[in-house]
Structure 1
Amino acid sequence: MLLFDGHGRGDVDQERIALVGISQVGYWVPRALAFERRIAAAVADPGVLDVSTSWWQHLPGELRAVWESGEREAFDQYLREGLKGDPDGAATWAWRAKPYGIDSPFDLLTEIGRYTLAPVVDQSTTPPLITDPEGESFWPGQSEQLHEALTGPKELVRFTEAEGADLHCEPLGRAVLEQRVFDWIDARLGTGG
């Protein structure tokens, strides 16, 4: 993540830098807040405490046991055989795995297992806004868990099916989401409209 520092630009107020992230960036935003002190307002849509849960929830429990035993070759073979019979699952796996550049499923899940906020969640000094969409499919319940784990000021905002702003990243309710998010940022940064 690159954070522009605004030096040399008269149009960047270094006291009012905002950071907004959607989907898995709901992990990276709170992580950045643990280390970066220049951020004045931050939004995680949704809140993600542990990235790996979105991977494991779609895999059979016995596969997790093989991974935990450290049997790399057996795990990779088992998963690859399973994906051969599931073209949609294989395409989804390939699409989600591509940014990591790791071929071995065992190694990939080992790496993704490192993406947890547990060691740093209490280091944030910037109060974030965390969205909590009804029907969150990738990280259900994690927005609330992140909200509870943060020790300082924070705000949790729920989005519902009734208002048309449910599901992962509120795809059909972006106007509702953006109105609430920008109102919150406006109040946080004191822009006065």
Structure 2
Amino acid sequence: MSADTPRAFNASYLDYTLVGGIDERIQCPTLVCDAEEDMFFKGRPEQLYEHLACPRTRMMFTTEEGAGAHCHPGARRLSIARIYDWLDDTLAAGA
């Protein structure tokens, strides 16, 4: 992001967007993680998933699993294990 400070790095995210059809141009397999009780981006993962034209997977994390919050802080081991399993399967399929 070419940012010199942590604050500039965080501010650079404001310029990052998939608006204007960019999401439809993604070609690589894409994992979209969603949290049942996401308080920041509710509905956005589903919207992204629907716009993707590439091979895609939507992975839902639930409150019952302890992973229902944004970025799944209550179940880091679970979320990382599931994400790595997806990577293993996806990379093996492409080999």
Task: Pick one of 13, 17, 31 that aligns with 1:116.
Answer: 17
Q: Deviations along 1:25-75, whole A, 9 cap, x unmatched?
A: xxxxxxxxxxxxxxxxxxxxxxxxxxxxxxxxxxxxxxxxxxxxxxxxxxx
Output aligned runs, 1:1-193, within 5 Å.
Answer: 1=1, 99-100=10-11, 112=14, 114-119=15-20, 120-190=22-92
- RMSD between aligned residues: 2.6
Structure of larger gyration radius:
1
Unmatched tracts of structure 2, length 5 or more: none
TM-score (norm. length: structure 1): 0.41
Answer yes or no: is the 8 Å Cα contact 2:32–2:59 preserved in 1: yes
Gap change, CA 1:98 and 1:129, over 3 Å in 2 = closer
Aligned length: 88
Q: What secondary structure is seen at the aligned counterpart in 2 of 1:122?
A: helix
Distance 1:154 1:178 in 2: 18
Where 2:48 maps in the other structure, the secondary structure is helix
Measured against aligned partners, the alpha-carbon deviations of 1:78-103 in whole angstroms (never above 9, x if no partner) come to xxxxxxxxxxxxxxxxxx888328xx
8 Å contact kept, 2:32–2:49: yes
Moved runs in structure 1, 4+ residues, more than 2 A? 96-101
Q: Is the 8 A contact 2:29 2:90 kept in 1?
A: no
The normalised TM-score by structure 2 is: 0.79
* In structure 2, distance between residues paired with 1:149 and 1:164: 28
